[in-house]
Amino acid sequence: MIKPRPFLVAIVGGSGSGKSWLAERLEKSFAGRAARLSLDDFYRDRSRLPPARRAKINFDNPAAIDWLCFRSVLVNLSKGKSARLPEYDFTSHSRKARWRTLQPKQVVIVDGLWLLRSPALRRLFDQTIFLDCCEATRLSRRLARDLKTRGRTERSVREQFQTTVQPMHAKFVQSQRKWADIVIEENFSPQQVTEIGDGIQKLADPKRPFRGR
């Protein structure tokens, strides 16, 4: 018996726009019927570079991503095949030694900064969502995240945001809004999450009702 093709969902937006939060909420809402991955784990391995050089890399440019690896993973998942995913350590700017295997499920949720820039990648997604969030909110969220989980200082976070994050957002991220099926403004409500999940469920499998949480 041929397995049905997974329903691929792309969640795109600037750094701090809420991509991971939304992806996590949707994954939990599908109660074991959704798999999730993040473009963040596909940053190129920089372990061979001295730490000082790693810190100077522009990680807010799409060129920082291992796109060949990412596309291979996405293609396998779109065909209902399992895929091996790298894991990235943002503290050391290097790829971890361990990889994990992701099994495709009814819905596969992918979040990332630049998922819609490539026409070839856009064609692989069945639903595309863009989170439109103002600069001030994204900076405050980035500060909270990086100070807590990525070993950064407030000064370094603010400096990076102004020198690379925001300029690269204007150049590479914001323009993807026009390719999204759904655009969500910041501070979206739990009800909107439920509505999005309900819409995905109806498209992925009309016979099985979605129950948001």
The CATH homologous superfamily for domain 7-204 is P-loop containing nucleotide triphosphate hydrolases (3.40.50.300)
Find the mean pLDDT for residues 93-118: 95
Query: Where does the pLDDT of residue 26 fall: very low under 50, low under 70, confident under 90, or very high at 90 and above?
Result: very high
- Among candidate residues 20, 2, 3, 72, the one with its CA nearest the CA of residue 11: 20
Domain ranges of the chain: 7-204
pLDDT at 3: 62
Inform me whether the pLDDT recorded for 4 exceeds 80. no
pLDDT digits (tens, 9 = 90+) for 27-86: 999 989 999 999 999 999 998 999 889 888 999 999 999 999 999 999 999 999 999 999
Query: Where does the pLDDT of residue 199 fall: very low under 50, low under 70, confident under 90, or very high at 90 and above?
Result: very high
pLDDT digits (tens, 9 = 90+) for 34-46: 999 999 999 999 9
State how far the Cα of 105 lies from the Cα of 82, in Å rounded to an integer: 10
pLDDT at 211: 39
Query: Where does the pLDDT of residue 212 fall: very low under 50, low under 70, confident under 90, or very high at 90 and above?
Result: very low
pLDDT at 200: 93
pLDDT at 209: 43
pLDDT at 208: 45
Phi, psi of 116 (to 5 degrees): -105, 5
State how far the Cα of 85 lies from the Cα of 95, in Å rounded to an integer: 11
pLDDT at 149: 75
